[in-house]
Chain A
Amino acid sequence: MSDQTTQVIEAERRAPLLLVPFLIGAAVAVVLGVYANVHAPTGIAVNVAGFSGPLEVKVWMTSAALLLALVQLGSALVMYGKIGWLGTPSWTGAVHRWSGRVAFLLAIPVAVHCLYAIGFQTATPRTLVHSIVGTLFFGAFTVKMLGLRRDGLPGWALPVLGGVVFTLLVALWWTSSLWFFTTFGVRF
């Protein structure tokens, strides 16, 4: 790490590079939110075999995504040398990328079901938080992905973006899967 003054100056100079990714991410979040609000919930969407119902599918896919997100957090810490005794194995980056990709792809069907079959729900605090965080998650993920393609971002940018995405996913899981498990029990 360079000295703090240099970092601050760099941050000021380079942070605007995130503007376009941020705008695109914001657009993603808004479009999802508007669609969820406007589209009439159908109560129906494609299902996955092997589970007793769409609820269970979503609960477990989200939980799998959360598990991978924990891998994300761990591998990111390793990449940034925060876990000293481990060093930074060469495959750390690959683990980080692939766990992220799989987690993202797991989240997609869940989100499609939410958007298509249920929509933006405001009736209880849990559903309101879940709806808002759900739209923000995909916006934040978009910012993170597009941010990765920018050279010269300040050093804090990717950790912050990644942390935001991780936090949002935890919030999503908390307000859906954890709620489901505590309300109905752990079932498939």
Chain B
Amino acid sequence: MSRNSPLVTLLAGGALGVGLLVASMAATPEEPAAGDEPAADATESPATEPAEDLEATEPNEPPDEDVDEAEPDDSPEATEPPADAPEPVTYVGYVDDGTASVAVIVDGDEAIAYVCDGVSREAWLSGAAADGELELTGDQGSLSATYDGFVAEGETTVDGQTWTFSIAQVDPPEGLYRFADTIAGGADVVGGWIVLPNGDQVGLVNVDGESQPADQIDVETGQVTVEGEVVTAERQG
């Protein structure tokens, strides 16, 4: 072994890294959504919430470090929402006491949410989102929260039951799935499924006004059996 070969190894690795970094920068479109690979699955770990301490929120910010401005340990509330993010941002997670799940999807200045305990309580909510805060309402309840592109925190009330929650941004296949249509038997069906980072699903199917436990959906295809019929739930957002 020549004395320099470890150095060559290091430098080759470094060069490869820099090359890939440059290629990645070149491959990053002006609008991330326009990339030929879905931004969605670029996240290494769907359970991963992008760090709440990232100050830079503009997707097109040059990737070089502004070290002097950086305060990596800055508190989460210092971040501003990536409101100009072209893609809807989905947050899902359990409520703080673990008895229900929440999904929030922020799309520009609008947001929807689905809260579900998987047993009997569920609520579809919608409303406005701005400046990192959202207020959502629906027939069955309400939800107010703050969000920063990485985490959404707040409280929700469904059928008189109030939960607090702190939920994280996720990427497909996690997220909120919904099916709403009249199925072959003539029943009006609205089904919601929250697919959590650990693979758990919390969902309910409302058939002709009655909420009932839901079968699990196939997250690959969105297919699920409702009242004996196979239907396809759409991932929201």
Contact = CB atoms under 8 A, between A and B. Distances in A.
Contacts of B25: 116
A46 B24 CA distance: 5
A47 B41 CA distance: 11
B13 interface: yes
Contacts of A54: 37, 41-42, 44
Interface in B99-122: none
Interface in B2-21: 3-7, 9-10, 12-13, 16-17, 20-21
Given A44-B35, A54-B41, A180-B45, A37 B24 contact: no
Nearest to A184: B199
Contacts of A114: 44
Interface stretch (B53-61, B131-139, B156-164, B175-183): B53-61
B78 interface: no
B148 to A, nearest CB: 11
A41 B50 CA distance: 8
Contacts of A120: 51, 72
Secondary structure class of chain A's binding surface, majority of residues: helix
Contacts of A40: 54, 56-59, 61, 63
Contacts of A105: 12-13, 16
A174 interface: no
A46 B20 contact: yes
Range for the number of chain B residues in contact with chain A = 35 or more
Interface string A93-121: 10001001100110011011111111111
Interface string B145-158: 00000110000000
Contacts of B29: 44
Interface residues of A, number: 55
A44 B51 contact: no
B199 A127 contact: no
B97 interface: no
Contacts of A113: 24, 42, 44
Given A43-B43, A44-B42, A123-B52, A37 B35 contact: no
B43 A34 contact: no
A118 B24 CA distance: 12
A45 B42 CA distance: 7
Contacts of A35: 65
Given A46-B24, A117-B24, A126 B37 contact: no
Interface stretch (A2-10, A11-19, A82-90, A144-152): A144-152
B44 A122 contact: no
B65 A38 contact: yes
B230 interface: no
Which 3 A-B pairs have CB atoms at the shortest separation, nearest pair first? A123-B49, A53-B41, A40-B56
